[in-house]
Amino acid sequence: MHERSHTHNSQTAPEPDPAPEKLFGATLYPHRSLSRRHYNRMIAGLLLLCLIAAFRFFAVGAWPVVIFVTIDILALWLAFHLSYRQARLHENIRLSAKDLIVTRVQPNGSAESWRFDPYWVQVKLVATEGGDDNMLVFSSHGERLQVGAFLTAAERRSLAEKLWRAMAPLKGR
């Protein structure tokens, strides 16, 4: 059985019944190569370099360049701010003997959940064009859900293998 629900604020969602024993659980996050601390250092360094350049241009009488340097600083800050905001996207996967629940939380905090019967759901690693790339897809009763689109191909493969091992006893394999 596949059920889909939407919640826009996880704090106002009704409390579920006591959860059955969790057989598998994972929270998936997009990879960020730059930590928040390093991001702040990089922005401070870029700001310092741009301010030095702006001061030099202002000192030689080319004050209009300062406007463009300011725009550059704001554009860099905005690009990184949006990138870090997107990093708030995450997916939770919880498998119990009763159900497989996938919850996707968007950067704005809205959440969408899918519930599958673990006996019927198929966890497929589908090869895509482009060589080693793949998609992790949960399917049941004609419904398909792509999971972990922001993960690398190797990470999706590893997740699929862990799910297959966790689900094998439920399917009598």
100 and 164 together in one domain: yes
The more confidently predicted of residues 82 and 91 is 91
Mean pLDDT of 149-156: 89
Among residues 119, 124, 79, 128, the alpha carbon closest in space to that of 100 is found at 119
The pLDDT of residue 172 is 73
* Count of domains for the chain: 2
User: If DSSP states are collapsed to H, E and C, what string results for 7-66?
Assistant: ECCHHHCCCCCCCCCEEEEEEECCCCCCCHHHHHHHHHHHHHHHHHHHHHHHHCCCCHHH
The pLDDT of residue 17 is 55
The per-residue pLDDT for range 4-53, each reduced to its tens digit, is 444 433 334 445 555 568 889 999 988 877 788 888 898 889 889 888 98
DSSP 131: S
Q: Identify the bridge partners of residue 145 per DSSP, sorted by sequence position.
A: 138
50 and 110 together in one domain: no
Provide the mean pLDDT of the chain. Answer: 83
Name the residue type at position 166. Answer: A
Mean pLDDT of 91-99: 92
Q: Identify the bridge partners of residue 112 per DSSP, sorted by sequence position.
A: 6, 104
- Phi then psi for residue 51, to 5 deg, are -65, -40
166 and 119 together in one domain: yes
119 and 164 together in one domain: yes
The domain in which residue 79 lies consists of 36-86
96 and 140 together in one domain: yes
67 and 109 together in one domain: no
The pLDDT of residue 20 is 65
102 and 165 together in one domain: yes
Using CA atoms of 40, 45, 48, 53 in order, give the dihedral in degrees to the nearest 10.
Answer: -140
The pLDDT of residue 34 is 78
The pLDDT of residue 93 is 94
Query: Are 90 and 27 a contacting pair, CB within 8 Å?
Result: yes
The per-residue pLDDT for range 40-68, each reduced to its tens digit, is 898 889 889 888 988 898 899 888 888 98
97 and 119 together in one domain: yes
80 and 162 together in one domain: no
93 and 26 together in one domain: yes
